[in-house]
Structure 1
Amino acid sequence: MSLKVHVCAVGRMRSGPEKDLFDEYLTRFDKTGRALGLGPARLHEVEDRKGGGMSAEAALLQGAIPGGAVVCALDERGRVMSSPEFAQMLARWRDEGRGDVAFVIGGADGLAPELREGADAALSLGRMVWPHMLARVMLSEQLYRAASILAGSPYHRL
């Protein structure tokens, strides 16, 4: 069984360096993770065109999350973990037979409390605040790094 990865995010990523990096790391993740039962990874973008705020964004994000998926909210209040800890978390979900994991990234104001509190896990990329487009890039790099760690690749060095 493979753990499919879904990055569910508010906003559209335009062409440019962030999109190029995001796509590159997801491609690397897919190639490295395939033999490990990780992936593929897909991006699901949602936009609140009516200006309904965090609650409207949360409803759109909920619609993008596959049924039964493990939900991991990216949030500054989430758990800060090392790359090997992140890799082990993914491996645990895979080994438990979970079919999907959805990493949820909010818009400029973050995630609505009801979505954040209802998540199975919350992950922080550190105590600094990052633009949400860069958060996508950082997540995609960590997904690739996690697959590399689990594969025993020299990409990750302690």
Structure 2
Amino acid sequence: MKIILISVGKSHETYVRDGIEDFYKRLNKYFPAEWNIIAPLKNAASLSETELKSKEGEQIFSQLQQDDFLVLLDERGKQFSSPQLANFIQQRANESTKRLVFLIGGAFGVSNEIFKRAGYVWSLSNLVFPHMLVRLILTEQLYRACTILRNEKYHHV
């Protein structure tokens, strides 16, 4: 199984880049993974919220394959504990999921079409975080889940 991480927005800011890269390298020891950053639209300020989400949705759809299992990170989703996330990932692997895609949408969320396409909607917290921190938290939690699956010492209960 391959893990794909998609985020709409600017590339990784320097204040989190090192952390993201560190956990990304660690994650790749368990599953092949890749980051796909969708750059902000150049005319975003002139678009309505609906138009912006629609155009971002087109870009997101262009990166998805038909059989991808899409996990949308959204504040309206369900929360996992770290062990529950590990179980979720193991279930996808057991189901022979080829690509497990985690999506961080744009500043206004995602289009209804993307929301409907998601196989699971996940909320990291009741709090709202900047996109850059979500990328760091997501990468770290995926790594943590992999260490839980292998009974390694990183995660402490």
In the superposition, the TM-score normalised over structure 2's length comes to 0.90
Instruction: Write the letter of the residue equivalent to 1:5.
Output: I
Displacement of 1:110 after TM fit? Answer: 1.6
Displacement of 1:143 after TM fit? Answer: 0.6
Instruction: Write the letter of the residue equivalent to 1:27.
Output: K
Contact 1:8-1:65 within 8 A present in 2 as well: no
Displacement of 1:58 after TM fit? Answer: 1.1
Contact 1:6-1:101 within 8 A present in 2 as well: yes
State the alpha-carbon separation in 2 of the partners of residues 7 and 14 from structure 1.
13
Bigger mean CA offset, 97-106 vs 43-52: 43-52
Q: 1:15 to 1:93 in 2, by over 3 A?
A: same
State the alpha-carbon separation in 2 of the partners of residues 120 and 15 from structure 1.
29
The one of 32, 49, 53 equivalent to 2:42 is 49
Equivalent in the alignment of 1:36: none
Contact 1:70-1:102 within 8 A present in 2 as well: yes
Q: Structure 1 stretches of 5 or more lacking a match?
A: 34-38
Instruction: Write the letter of the residue equivalent to 1:117.
Output: K
Displacement of 1:15 after TM fit? Answer: 4.6
Q: 1:109 is paired with a residue of what secondary structure?
A: coil
How many equivalent pairs are there?
150
Identity %: 31
Equivalent in the alignment of 1:9: 7
Kindly provide the CA deviation profile for residues 13-38 of structure 1, in whole angstroms up to 9, marking residues without a partner as x.
2451212111110111112x1xxxxx
1:9-158 residue pairs with structure 2 within 5 A?
Answer: 9-31=7-29, 33=30, 39-47=31-39, 48-51=41-44, 52-158=51-157
Bigger mean CA offset, 6-15 vs 77-86: 6-15
Q: Structure 2 stretches of 5 or more lacking a match?
A: 45-50
Kindly provide the CA deviation profile for residues 51-98 of structure 1, in whole angstroms up to 9, marking residues without a partner as x.
241111111011112331100000000110100000100010001111
In the superposition, the TM-score normalised over structure 1's length comes to 0.90
Two-structure CA RMSD over aligned residues (Å): 1.3
Instruction: Write the letter of the residue equivalent to 2:38.
Output: V
State the alpha-carbon separation in 1 of the partners of residues 11 and 17 from structure 2.
6
